[in-house]
Structures are given as structure tokens and as C-alpha cells.
A and B are shown apart, each in its own frame.
Chain A
Amino acid sequence: MPSKGSAAAVKLAEPPVAAATFKRFFEDMLLIRRFEERASQMYGMRLIGGFCHLYIGQEAVVVGMQAALKDGDSIITTYRDHGHMLACGMDPKGVMAELTGRRGGYSHGKGGSMHMFSREKNFFGGHGIVGASVPIGTGLAFAHRYRGDGFIAVSYFGDGAINQGQVAESFNMASLWKLPVVYVIENNRYGMGTSISRASARTDLFHRGIGLGIPGEQVDGMDVAAVYDAAQSAAEHARSGQGPIILEMLTYRYRGHSMSDPAKYRTKEEVDKMRSEHDPIDHLRQRLLNAGMAGEAELKDIERRVRETVAEAAQFAQDCPEPDPAELWTDVLAEA
């Protein structure tokens, strides 16, 4: 996997701090992994309907990014959003209950997998139209600049969205107006079933803003330390008034585009190779052990805690009743 910001480039903090940070990364990534595995299982049991896009394999991207942000920064992403919500600190119970379409879900069961929000956590969705969240994320940055509050927006999207016209439109305005936004391209190599080489004239995407004066960097998105390092510099760039910046995260999704995707467009060997050689969670686990930052028992403890959290979320999402029928008519318009 090509890599610019390798692990060697990570500026490790003092050992105790680094250990705590990495253990948190491990737990956060593991939570996403286990949550998504459970969602997959529940989808198979028909407890979850519609489209369901899993984040398995890409966990390092959002965990490393979010760790570099401040409370008050705004986040927006597309429909592969479960991991982002968990990384924003949203309650796994509320996320899972939305997947099952229950009243305890973040959108009271009216949004589903692709459309969830948390005003409290400044998570602005959860958007189902490829590319459409990018101008909205640019608008979030516009609002931060308008208010002069010192916060930034982070807009996540995939290698499929990059070819949408409105993404280019957003890059132009963000650079023109020097908006505080970090664009995170999660390049998992496939836009649904079309590989990047069949959809983009150039397969490296970090340079897409260069003609507009937006710096870009390619990052090993399977290495949470590399992501965290790049995220800190990018956030600082945006926060300091220098305008937008693009981070291309080279990553991989192990599962299909959605639950109904048999993934015939790539080989099993390709997937297996990524899983066995580049898995972000295994990678970090080994690093924690090798560097003596955590012992086997401690990691087992984390794994048990995560398993319990996910089990609770799954139970809540199944026990929670469906929305009241009256809910059909609420939240269309606000009272003027």
C-alpha cells in the first residue's frame, strides 16, 4: 500500500501519553469493527432493512481524524457513516436503534442507516446523495468563518464522490473564500463496484485541489498513527486561516459496497491480503504489545468492554419499540 505518512513519521508524544492515546485508538477502532460486524449479523436476521454500508477496514481513518479535532468542530460524511458517528462519541445504542428503525434511534427511526445526525456532537450527517454532503460541509466551514468562532469543518467522502461536479465547485469556493475545512477523501479503491482506475483519470486524488491552490496529502489510512499525525497538521492548517486542505486516505473496505454486494469486481486474494497484512486494528494491537504500551490482559479487557457495549446496543435496538404511528407526521416542518 503506498504511503506518505508512515508510522516512522509519527511524532510520538511522551510514552505514557502516547500509550493512553493509542489504547484509546485501539478501543475506538475495535468498537466500530465489532459494531459493524453485529450490524451485519442483524441485517442477515432482517432486523435492519434497506441499504447498510459497513465501515469495516476503514476504522483508522475516522478514529485518527477525530482525535485531532476540538469540541465545536463540525463533521459531515456520506452514507457509510456508522463509524463516524461512533467516533464522534454518539451513543452506540441510539445508532443501532436507528439501524433497526426504532423510536430510540437518533432520528426516531425516520432516517435509517444513511441519515443520522447529532446536533449535540456537531455531527451533521449521514447523507445519502454521493457528493452532496461536500458543499454542505463547505457551508459548515462558511458558518465557522462567518461567526469567527475558531472551529473548523471536516467533510468526509469517498473516491466515488470526488468526480461529482459539486465537489469541484466546493473546492473552488473553499479556496476562494479561505474557508476552514479539511476534506478527507476516503479512497477505498472502489466506488461501489467500479475500481478507481476505471472511474478516475488519475488514481491518486490528493492533488485534485492543487489547481485551485488547495494543498493535498496522501496518507496511509490503514495506519491510525499516520492518520492522526496528518490530521493534526491539517486541522492546524484549516484553523489558522490558511484555507482548505485535502487529505487522501488510502484505505480499504473488506465488505461489499452495501450488504447486497457480492463484490465480484475484486478477487478474494486482494481482500485477504489487505486483511492479513494491513489491518489497522491488528497492526495497532501488535504495536501496543511490541512497544510494551499495553499487555495482553489489558487489551483483552478492552475487547471485553467493547463486546459488552455492542451487545447492549444490539439488545437495546431490538427491545426498543418501533416509532409511534403519529411520528409519521412530525418533524416535516418546524413551527414558524
Chain B
Amino acid sequence: MSTDVLMPALSPTMTEGKLARWLKAEGDHVQPGDAIAEIETDKATMEVEAIDEGILARIVIPEGTEHVAVNTPIAVIAANGEDVSAAAPAAATQHSPHPEPAPSPMARDRAPPPAAPVPAPAGKQPGYTGATATITVREALRDAIAEEMRRDDSVLLLGEEVAEYQGAYKVSQGLLQEFGPRRVIDTPITEQGFAGVGVGAAFAGLKPIVEFMTFNFAMQAIDQIINSAAKTRYMSGGQMGCPIVFRGPNGIASRVAAQHSQCYASWYAHCPGLKVVAPYTGADHKGLLKAAIRDPNPVVFLEHELVYGESFEVPTDPEFIIPIGKARVAREGDRVTITAFSRMVKLALLAAEELAKDGIAAEVIDLRSLRPFDAATVAASVKKTNRLVAVEEGWPFAGIGSELAAVMMEECFDWLDAPVKRVAGKDVPLPYAANLERLAVPQVEDIVAAAREVAYR
């Protein structure tokens, strides 16, 4: 009996990859555990191993093929003695070692493919006329770090797996090679310790970029971020500065459950003495990270694992900077304002598309910066639309949406035609099961429903 070898997923968020190289030829005998091919993603290169003994009967996907979707049959292994010429690839769903959930009444709750289409090419920056390149957010971050390190010897990168491994999410790809181990430094797994080392180096005038593998792990270091980095300038009467960037992925990933899936936006935004940034587009990631590195204050820079692989048009000018503290109108409209940040901007834009089909013109505001908070841009929009839906991935209690609701009460009370509506993560630790995970985080339809509710449509 022949077995299909399927394109494997190498990470929770991988959807496709490149079949880089075949290590076995048709007709070769393979044992379980033998490496038969190499596949590449934007994050990693890994080997595919045979799981059955037999003959590599057919190579279905030739080497060098790009964009091979996960679960596509890439080869057929025939049992010893089987007529290999008869072996043909079967449909992926029949032999998949990683079966997709079967269609069921629950089907609508299944997680959407992470690489959903971006509704609008969020590309050219207003006012920017220079050259751009289409790159991923991951590359935009890397370029920002590299450009600032070239510009200023006091900028360095510190964190787990940032150097030799090239970054747990490959954000720091190539930086060790360009800047060497003095400036690109692998740390032990010791978040509180290396965050404190970064703070000390910043007190001494260096400009460390401290990468947390995820912000979930930064909880171990939050004392250093708040008590040491954020408060010392004030406590010293302005004598001390702490020019440091704490960055890494924040919020959910894909099926990594409660301890690896939390949005810390409101935690950090709560604290004076910090700047907090949570961008969505590639240009914003690049421009805001460069601003964060040059900023004399501690900046918490919240990224998102599900956004790293998205491509955008990004300015290539090394002096392209986006000032921290300004929201961006991502789509204009006059019927309802939707605020979002980080990955939720994408969902808000998709929701606006849906709403437009029904003649509801939604204005989408990408908050980008949570501290300082651009209340003026939101207020100006709400004074036009008279309605606000505040979207965030994190928990609702004391969240960014709660703050927006308060600001609207204070500044737009007479303009509101409906109560401010919050769309937030459900008030539970994030569950693992695919259907429950989808229920726990805001979806496009939740935003659409909230917008209809406040628009009375």
C-alpha cells in the first residue's frame, strides 16, 4: 500500500513553504527517520523525514517549487515489493497525518487560514514619495534594526536566540553576520535578568533593543520594565534616562493556548513613563521601530506573530521614521468609527469591506501608539460618525476599549448617537481547541455585528 508524503507544517502559523531540495531520488529505499527532502519557510529550513519503510515511488513536487501549501502531497512512498509505477498520489485529505477537522455543525468555528487576504494594499505612506519595496513585516523589523545599528554604535540587540539561531521568529536574520557578537547577543533563558541588564546598559547610555521571544515571557521581567525602566527618570528628577526598546510578539498566535496567548497592551499602556506601540502595516512596523530605537524613553513595542509573514510596501529610505503617538486613518467613512491596533486592524478593515456592501461606511482608525494615546484623532472621527466600536484582541476588563469608552464620555459625550461598543477577547484564559480559540478572540463577524448594532442597522 502506498503512502503520500505531505507538505508538513513546521510551526503553528505556517501555511506554505518552498520545497528546496530532494535528498532522495525516485526508486531509493527509505527507512523511517530518513531525511528525504528539505523545505524552507521564511523562518526556517527543515528536513522532511520518511515515516514508513519503502521505496520513494514518485516525487510529486519538484525541488525548487515555491508556495507549496501545507498538506499538499509532495511524494509517494510504496511498500517494499509494491508496483511502484502504479503508485499515484491520493487526495490529501484521505491520508493526511494532520487531518483538518471534519466538516461538522462546528465547521464555522474553525480557525480561518492565517494568511487571509489583506483587504487593501496598506502601502504608500501619505507624504512619502521615496522608493518602496514589498517585504514582510518580519523583514521590515529586521531592516529597521539593521539601519539603526548601522547609524549608531550604541544600538545593540539582546535576547534569547537572537544571534546564532537568527531569531525565534527570524526577525533578526542576518544581524549577527553583519554586526557580530558584540552587538547581537544571545542571552540565557533569564528574562528578568537580561531585561535588567538591558536597563542598566540603557542607564549607562547605550540603546539596547531587548527582544522577548514573546511578551508572555516578559511577565517574568515586568518589574524591570515598570519599576526600573519606566519610573527611574521621574524618581531621579530627570537626571536618569532609559533609552531602551522592549520588543517581541504579543497576543495570540495559533493554537498555543493560554500561557502563550495574551495581549499585554493595556498592562503596559496603563503605566506612565513608558511609550507603547502596536503597529499593523509593514511601513508602520519599520518607521515606528526606528522611532522607538531613537527615542530617549523606554518603549514597549508590541508585535504579532500572525502578522510577521504579511507583506506590505515599505519605504526603503533609512531616514523614513514614523513619530510615536499618532493614530492613522486606515480607511475613511462617515457612519461608524472602528478603532483597532496590531493584527485587529486587518480584521477591522475586512469588517469595513463587509459593512460597505450594506452601505455602511466605516472609518477604521489604526491606533498604532497606545502611549502616548492619540485621543484627538479618534475624537475627530467620532464627532463625524457619532459612533465608536473599539476592537482589541485582549481581555475587555480595564482594556484599551474601556479607556476609549471613558475618553469618549469625556470628550464626545454630546456627539455620541449610540453607546461605545467594545469588541474584545472573551474574558477567559485562551483555550487550545481550534473551535474554542476562534470563539475566544474577536472575528470579523463580531466587528460587523457591533458596527451594525451602534449604527442601528
Residues in A lying within 8 Å of B, measured CB to CB: 74, 76, 105-111, 115-119, 124-129, 132, 134-144, 146, 153, 165-166, 169-170, 172-173, 176, 330-336
| A140 engages B204 (CB within 8 Å) | yes
| B238 engages A135 (CB within 8 Å) | no
The tally of residues in B whose CB lies under 8 Å from a CB in A reads 44
B193 interface residue (CB < 8 Å to A): yes
Q: A138-B197, A169-B190 known; 5 other A-B pairs, CB under 8 Å?
A: A115-B232, A124-B200, A135-B197, A136-B199, A172-B193
| B197 engages A331 (CB within 8 Å) | no
Q: Which residue of A lies closest to B243 (CB)?
A: A334
Given the known inter-chain contacts A127-B228, A132-B228, please indicate yes or no for A117 contacting B236, CB distance below 8 A.
yes
Q: In the complex, A126 Cα to B296 Cα: how many Å?
A: 21
Given the known inter-chain contacts A135-B224, A146-B182, A166-B193, please indicate yes or no for A336 contacting B237, CB distance below 8 A.
no
Given the known inter-chain contacts A139-B203, A143-B205, A336-B297, please indicate yes or no for A110 contacting B234, CB distance below 8 A.
yes
Residues on A with C-beta less than 8 A from B192 are 135, 165-166, 169
Given the known inter-chain contacts A146-B201, A173-B187, please indicate yes or no for A132 contacting B223, CB distance below 8 A.
yes
Most buried by A among B203, B224, B227: B203
Residues on A with C-beta less than 8 A from B228 are 127, 129, 132, 136
Given the known inter-chain contacts A169-B190, A176-B188, A334-B297, please indicate yes or no for A139 contacting B196, CB distance below 8 A.
yes
Residues on B with C-beta less than 8 A from A132 are 196, 223-224, 227-228
Within 8 A of A (CB), among B233-274: 233-241, 272-273
Given the known inter-chain contacts A110-B235, A118-B239, A119-B239, please indicate yes or no for A135 contacting B199, CB distance below 8 A.
yes
| A166 engages B234 (CB within 8 Å) | no
Q: In the complex, A87 Cα to B173 Cα: how many Å?
A: 47
Contact for B239 among A107, A129, A333, CB less than 8 A: A107
Task: Kindly provide the distance from the CB of A129 to the nearest chain B CB, expressed in whole angstroms.
Answer: 5
| B233 engages A142 (CB within 8 Å) | no
A–B pairs, 6, beta carbons within 8 Å: A107-B239, A117-B236, A119-B240, A135-B224, A136-B197, A336-B294
Q: In the complex, A139 Cα to B233 Cα: how many Å?
A: 17
Residues on A with C-beta less than 8 A from B236 are 106-107, 111, 115-117, 125, 331
Task: Kindly provide the distance from the CB of A64 to the nearest chain B CB, expressed in whole angstroms.
Answer: 24
Q: Which residue of A lies closest to B240 (CB)?
A: A117
Within 8 A of A (CB), among B179-199: 182, 187-188, 190, 192-199
Q: Which residue of A lies closest to B325 (CB)?
A: A336
B202 interface residue (CB < 8 Å to A): yes
Q: In the complex, A326 Cα to B198 Cα: how many Å?
A: 31
Contact for A140 among B190, B201, B234, B297, CB less than 8 A: B201
Q: In the complex, A173 Cα to B323 Cα: how many Å?
A: 35
| A331 engages B237 (CB within 8 Å) | yes
| A111 engages B237 (CB within 8 Å) | yes
Task: Kindly provide the distance from the CB of A140 to the nearest chain B CB, expressed in whole angstroms.
Answer: 5
| A331 engages B297 (CB within 8 Å) | no
Q: In the complex, A295 Cα to B26 Cα: how many Å?
A: 99
Q: Which residue of B lies closest to A103 (CB)?
A: B237
Task: Kindly provide the distance from the CB of B36 to the nearest chain A CB, expressed in whole angstroms.
Answer: 39
Residues on A with C-beta less than 8 A from B294 are 336
Q: In the complex, A332 Cα to B242 Cα: how many Å?
A: 11
B176 interface residue (CB < 8 Å to A): no
Contact for B188 among A110, A143, A153, A172, CB less than 8 A: A172
Q: In the complex, A173 Cα to B201 Cα: how many Å?
A: 14
Residues on A with C-beta less than 8 A from B199 are 135-136, 139
Q: In the complex, A141 Cα to B93 Cα: how many Å?
A: 58
| A336 engages B196 (CB within 8 Å) | no
B295 interface residue (CB < 8 Å to A): yes
Q: In the complex, A115 Cα to B197 Cα: how many Å?
A: 19
